[in-house]
Amino acid sequence: MDRIRALRARLHACPELSGHETRTLDTLEAFLRENTTLTVERRPEGLLATHWEGDGLPILGFRADVDAIPVEGDPARARHGCGHDGHSTILCALAVRLEGKRVGKNLRLIFQPAEETGEGARRILDTWPEMAALHRIYGLHNIPGYPRGTVLARRGCFARASQGFIADVQGRPAHAAYPDQGANPAAVLCEAVLRLPRFIEDILQGDDRVLMATVIGLRLGGENFGLAAAEGRLCLTLRGDRQVDIEALAQRLRDFIDRGCAELTMTAAYHSRDVFPDTTNTPGAVDEALARWSAARLPVRLLPEPMSWSEDFGHYLKAMPGTFFGIGIGESHPGLHTADYCFDDAIIEAAAEAFWTLI
């Protein structure tokens, strides 16, 4: 555990943004080569460590994310404000525990970059042929607000889907004294925001599942007071229990904006960013995990609702059976992504034990 805690300190000291995790992966690779006999492979999409006992045995995957988040107000800098340094360390603790043991299974330990942007899991699924052979895949996230070391589980959706929705509208410039001679996107974009509750109500049809839209930014024109606005950009985060609801809401927005643009002969272009599917646990896999944790007498709490944040682990669960769960990091622990957040090493052993029990 002294080596494990020292590893976490080294990872915490070299936070790197999504897609730039070079030193982080160097540190993890060096630790695994020095402290285990696993087969370690560095790849452009991440780091893979394999425990192989023989062909024909079940193959389990365990994934940890490795990236950091941008510093508020200075997005070029990074900090570990979500605990991915801890998640990577937990997976290394599992690797060390495997040394010299036969477990009757083959294991793939996946150290994945670019979780925060929703891109890392998809890249691995697209490029690593080993992923298609996994019988189960498991992942976890530390969660403030719950007792330290408690396994937090949920049948069905564990973390909601989300995506960034961007609408760029191009109108026509005009003198501010003669706005009717141009085409101003202000009305159509502002009206789209005001209609969001109605769009959501129409999609849900009274169902109690969650679907929400948060305005991230609305920009119109500039600060030339002699020129009417001729372009605008609307940025929303769409979030819900089901990916299909988010897609339906995005389509409602596109249809409404397109109609408004057609009336004024404007054009609209749409983009998606930071796309995260719903992280929905496989029924058989989560029931098996709950049974194993119960047999091992680990503290387990079933969550009544999905987490409102999103996880790119959902990409794996669309492709194969598996379970994503949480580990409580303390009832009064600062929240994820807050200025005061820092991973607590005290939960490393409990989290590694939760993984080990699944093996």
Distance of CA 5 to the CA centre of its chain: 25
154: Cβ contacts below 8 Å, ≥ 6 apart: 281, 286, 302, 303, 306, 325
pLDDT of residue 91: 98
For residue 159, give the nearest of 273, 312, 335 by alpha carbon: 312
CA-angle at 210, arms to 209 and 211, nearest 5°: 125
pLDDT of residue 206: 94
**H/E segment holding residue 141:** strand 136-143
Instruction: Give pLDDT tens digits for 310-358.
Output: 999 999 999 999 999 999 999 999 999 999 999 999 999 999 999 999 9
Instruction: Give pLDDT tens digits for 302-311.
Output: 999 999 999 9
CA-angle at 292, arms to 290 and 294, nearest 5°: 65
pLDDT of residue 346: 97
pLDDT of residue 44: 96
* Boundaries of every domain in the chain: 2-157+280-358, 161-275
Tell me the helices (H) and strands (E) count for the chain, helix number first: 10, 16
pLDDT of residue 257: 98
**In the chain, what is the greatest distance between 2 CA atoms, to the nearest angstrom?**
80
pLDDT of residue 133: 97
CATH architecture under which domain 161-275 falls = 2-Layer Sandwich (3.30)
What radius of gyration, in Å, describes the C-alpha atoms of the chain? 23
266: Cβ contacts below 8 Å, ≥ 6 apart: 169, 170, 171, 172, 183, 185, 188, 260
pLDDT of residue 353: 98
Instruction: Give pLDDT tens digits for 147-185.
Output: 999 999 999 999 999 999 999 999 999 999 999 999 999
Instruction: Give pLDDT tens digits for 87-124.
Output: 999 999 999 999 999 999 999 999 999 999 999 999 99
Count of CB atoms within 10 A of residue 205's CB? 6
Helix axes 2-12, 22-35, angle to 10 degrees: 170
Instruction: Give pLDDT tens digits for 180-189.
Output: 999 999 999 9
Q: Assign residue 167 a region (left: φ > 0; alpha: ψ between -120 and 50; beta: otherwise).
A: beta
CATH architecture under which domain 2-157+280-358 falls = 3-Layer(aba) Sandwich (3.40)
pLDDT of residue 270: 98
Instruction: Give pLDDT tens digits for 181-229.
Output: 999 999 999 999 999 999 999 999 999 999 999 999 999 999 999 999 9
Q: 171-195: buried (b, 16+ CB within 10 Å) or exposed (e) per residue?
A: beebeeeeeeebbbbbebbeebeee
The token pair at 165 is: 């929705």
Give the Cα separation of 16 and 90 in Å (integer): 18
pLDDT of residue 156: 93
Mean of the per-residue pLDDT values for the chain? 97
